[in-house]
Amino acid sequence: MGQTVVFANQKGGVGKTTSTVNIGAYMAATGRRVLLVDFDPQGNLSSSVGVRKQERGVYDVLIGNVSAEDVIVPTPQENMEILPSDLRLSGATVELAGVEGRDHYLKKVLKPLEGRYDYILIDCPPSLGILTINGFAAAQSVIVPLQCEFFALEGFLNMLFQTIKRIQSSLNPLLSVGGIIFTMYDSRTRLAQEVIQQVKKAFKTHPELLFKTVIPRNIRLSEAPSHGLPINMYDPGCVGARSYAALTEEVMKRV
């Protein structure tokens, strides 16, 4: 049975998209069949694998115009495909608002694809709105990328984990927490170390929820998307690539 993993965090710029594409690429590089699902109207995941200005996207599948198979396209990484997105998806947040069963739309879209992939990875927009809720409802595990330079962490994490608990007790009892990824770590800043210490303290009864591999701040990781390539293809030797390779091994043991 394939595993569906959702990458979520209500804050933007924390490494959700970067983690989704690169973890997906390393999974695919070991022969796993991977589907990336871009569920952010910004479409950053799509453009980070060179998919731009396509005619159809996940929005067309949501509104029932086409099937997912018709919209899925290959990526530069062998064994990895993507269900792309575009700005029209933002309309779905309004269109789905009053609809019954609105939280299960993505789940329905992905249902016919089960069995075709070992991993389906969903990238969410920076909010806890209806798109992210759809992601939670469709997945078996949630991974939370967390930027290592961040104030007011505690209230923020509480809110996120309360939402996840609410989802578990209503929409999706099968959802488990895959873990927290520390991203953009800069060993020269004290704040980065403080953030890690603070999160470790907050999770001291569940230390297994923190991935051991920390992703450093690495310029190559930020360059790769504009070349439309995951980091294993853009610069496999860089420290960012090696970190995501190690992290992916951890993720595959966990989810």
Q: Would you tell me which residues interact with ligand ADP (CB under 6 A)?
A: 12-18, 44, 126, 183-184, 215, 217-218, 221-222, 225, 240
Q: Each residue of 213-225: b (16+ CB within 10 Å) or e?
A: bbbbbbeebeebb
Q: Cα–Cα–Cα angle for 243, 247, 250, nearest 5°?
A: 150
Find the binder of Mg ion among 4, 17, 172, 183 (CB under 5 A).
17
Q: Which does 144 bind (CB under 5 to 8 A by kind): Mg ion, ligand ADP, none?
A: none
Q: Which does 215 bind (CB under 5 to 8 A by kind): Mg ion, ligand ADP, none?
A: ligand ADP
Per-residue interface string for the shown chain with Mg ion, residues 44-83, x marking contact by CB under 5 A:
x---------------------------------------
Contacts with Mg ion by CB under 5 A: the residue count is 3
- In the complex with ligand ADP, the residue whose CB is nearer, 33 or 141, is 141
- To Mg ion, the closest distance from the beta carbon of 116 in angstroms equals 25
Contact 20, 121 (CB under 8 A): yes
Residue closest to 136 by CA, chosen among 100, 91, 92, 105: 105
Spatial separation of the C-alpha atoms in residues 52 and 66, rounded to whole Å: 19
Contact 101, 134 (CB under 8 A): no
Measure Cα distances from 81 to 5, 21, 118 in Å.
Answer: 15, 11, 12
- In the complex with ligand ADP, the residue whose CB is nearer, 2 or 156, is 156
- What are the residues binding Mg ion (CB under 5 A)? 16-17, 44
